[in-house]
Amino acid sequence: MRTVALAFAILSSLAGTFAGCATAHAHDWYPVECCAQQDCVPARAVDTDGRGGDLTVVVGDLRILVPAGFPVRASPDSRVHVCFRTFAGDMDGSPVLTPICLFLPPQS
């Protein structure tokens, strides 16, 4: 019986580790394939290019370009969320923000 309880405790711990990486935050539903070291955050706004193409997701002072055709997932809390990584820029040294996953509210 003790072995079963220990195995359950270990499996529960591992499941919590792989279920999502934002477990310390209110949004622990981010898929593991989207999130590495807390790359996912709620967004303040989404701007469009007006032609149905690229989107720009606004997170604080950051503007993350999401190219047309980027896969979109349904947001379970009806808010916009984006998962992204930051890379060093090439020429001018400004950061390059690359989207990994985008969650949008369901269309009404």
pLDDT of amino acid 16: 36
Are 58 and 45 in contact by the 8 Å Cβ rule? The answer is yes
**Helix-strand-coil split of the chain, %, nearest 5:** 15, 35, 50
Global pTM value: 0.69
Six-digit token string for 65: 């370009």
Provide block-wise average pLDDT over 10 residues at a time, the chain (108 residues).
Answer: 34 34 56 82 90 90 94 94 88 86 87
Degrees, nearest 5: CA angle 51-107-98: 60
Contact (Cβ atoms closer than 8 angstroms) between residue 39 and residue 98: no
State residue 23's pLDDT score.
39
Whether the CB-CB separation of 58 and 102 falls below 8 Å is answered with no
pLDDT value, residue 27 = 55
Token pair listed for 93? 């040294």
Q: What is the pLDDT of residue 37?
A: 61
From CA 19, how far away is CA 98, in angstroms rounded? 23
**Residue 14: what are its φ and ψ, rounded to 5°?**
-65, -40
pLDDT at position 19 is: 38
- pLDDT reported for residue 51: 80
